[in-house]
Amino acid sequence: MRKTLLASALLAALPFTASVHAEDSPIAANIGFVSDYAYRGFSQTDERPALQGGFDYAHDSGLYVGVWGSNVSWLSDSDPAISNSLEIDVYGGYKGSVGAIGYDVGLLQYYYPGSYPKPYNSPNTLEGYVGLSWEFLSFKYSYAFTDLFGYEKSDGSQYYDLGAAIDIGAGVTLAAHVGYNDIKGQDDYTDWKIGVSKEFVGLNFGLHYVDTDVDNADLADERFILSVSKSF
């Protein structure tokens, strides 16, 4: 479930890829492979690999739009009657800076094409977000305008994301992240991640440790995630 923010925030929050816009083009693309697609601490692929990729368009004014996709299995794994194997995220917003402070405001639509027999609620979710960044630190607040990922009566759920990304030398980036999930009608929980990434032979390689304070869900257990990605 990808969200656009400043590059440092993406490095801190995600194990896969962040696209970097070329100086002579407003369009960028990215493709990545991960050993497990973890989102807010939970595996979306039953701890199996995922292929991911997307496109972004950024205007000089600060306006941007993009689309990103990944294979997933968390819905169909819960019930074979659900026919879904894909997540598509469509987002858009505006980013800029005031002095040394960067900001990013936008909307993100999560879409899970497939069929959902009763009594399942649609997992499609619309979130709004506000992000701030300074130097190597970033913070992002997300608010669900619809039911969150299929939870009944969960609109108004919130997510708080604090991250940091530091160049520790030799082209290696050390990134850390902690997030707090305030889900209406469900138990709140915290997720965190720390890891390193490095560009080599035109690819970005990463290794991240992911965990949560959830005790009753195998998909939220601690694990290491390997990733390799390419931006164009």
Of 186, 175, 178, which Cα lies nearest the Cα of 144? 186
CATH fold for domain 7-231 = Porin (2.40.160)
pLDDT digit of tens for each residue in the chain (232 aa)? 644 333 333 333 343 333 444 457 899 999 999 999 999 999 999 999 999 999 999 999 999 999 999 999 999 999 999 999 999 999 999 999 999 999 999 999 999 999 999 999 999 999 999 999 999 999 999 999 999 999 999 999 999 999 999 999 999 999 999 999 999 999 999 999 999 999 999 999 999 999 999 999 999 999 999 999 999 9
Q: How far is CA 213 from the centre of its chain?
A: 19
Residue 197 contacts residue 173 (beta carbons within 8 Å): yes
Domain extents for the chain?
7-231
Rounded distance, CA 116 to CA 128, Å? 25
- In angstroms and rounded to an integer, the radius of gyration of the C-alpha atoms of the chain is 17
Residue 5 contacts residue 138 (beta carbons within 8 Å): yes
- C-alpha distances (whole Å) from 18 to each of 158, 175, 227, 232 are 23, 13, 12, 10
